[in-house]
Amino acid sequence: MSKPIFVLNGPNLNLLGVREPHIYGRSTLADVENSCAAHAKRLGHEIVFRQTNHEGELITWVQEARTDACGLVLNPAGYGHTSIALLDALKSLEIPIVECHLSNPAAREAFRRHTYVSLAASGVVAGFGPASYTLALDAVNGLLARS
């Protein structure tokens, strides 16, 4: 059996549907997970979908992806703007990494316009709400097909 695609989510994404719905929408994280699982299945993949509010746990999962995943979709949330440790973990991966954001960070506050994750990512999908995740899965799938 092939390795799954890891879909990892950073802090506050457990509050999707409640936190700032005018920015992030009304879909819950469970809705996003269900959509990702169904889409990945159509692409011929399984996913491992996780969320944490703890930077160290997110880094541990990224390190786990080194050996246990074929690709990574990562919504780092606020850690994308602050975590050099997360960047360092991502740099250890030799699998496709697609950074994913529900909103468009470039259209928001200045501090959101820089993300350390982008330095290690194969590409970025942002601004399409929950569809950002399925687009990111498409991107990982395409990158895997090229390798």
pLDDT in tens, 48-82: 999 999 999 999 999 999 999 999 999 999 899 88
Identify the active-site residue in 39, 45, 79, 101. Answer: 101
Q: What domains can be seen in the chain, in order of their start residue?
A: 5-146 (3.40.50.9100)
Position with higher pLDDT, 116 vs 38 = 38
Which of 112, 143, 113, 120 shows the shortest CA–CA distance to 45?
Answer: 143
**Cβ density class 84-99: b for 16+ within 10 Å, e for less:** eebbebbeebebbbbb
pLDDT surpasses 80 at 110: no
Identify the active-site residue in 24, 79, 116, 133. Answer: 24
Residues 6+ apart with CB under 8 A from 33: 7, 49
Q: Are 76 and 117 in contact (CB under 8 A)?
A: yes
Q: Is 133 a catalytic residue?
A: no
- How many whole angstroms separate alpha carbon 111 and alpha carbon 82? 10
First-to-last C-alpha distance (Å) of the chain: 18
Tell me the pLDDT of the chain averaged across its residues. Answer: 92
pLDDT of residue 77: 92
- How many whole angstroms separate alpha carbon 82 and alpha carbon 101? 15
What is the arithmetic mean of pLDDT over 11-33? 87
pLDDT of residue 115: 86
Residue 106 — very low, low, confident or very high, per pLDDT cuts 50/70/90?
Answer: low
Q: Are 104 and 76 in contact (CB under 8 A)?
A: no
Give percent above pLDDT 70 in the chain.
Answer: 93
Q: Is 101 a catalytic residue?
A: yes
For 49-130, where are the alpha helices, taking DSSP H only?
55-68, 84-90
pLDDT of residue 19: 81
3-state secondary structure of 120: coil
Q: Are 75 and 13 in contact (CB under 8 A)?
A: yes
Scanning the structure block, which residue is given the tokens 């929408």?
A: 25
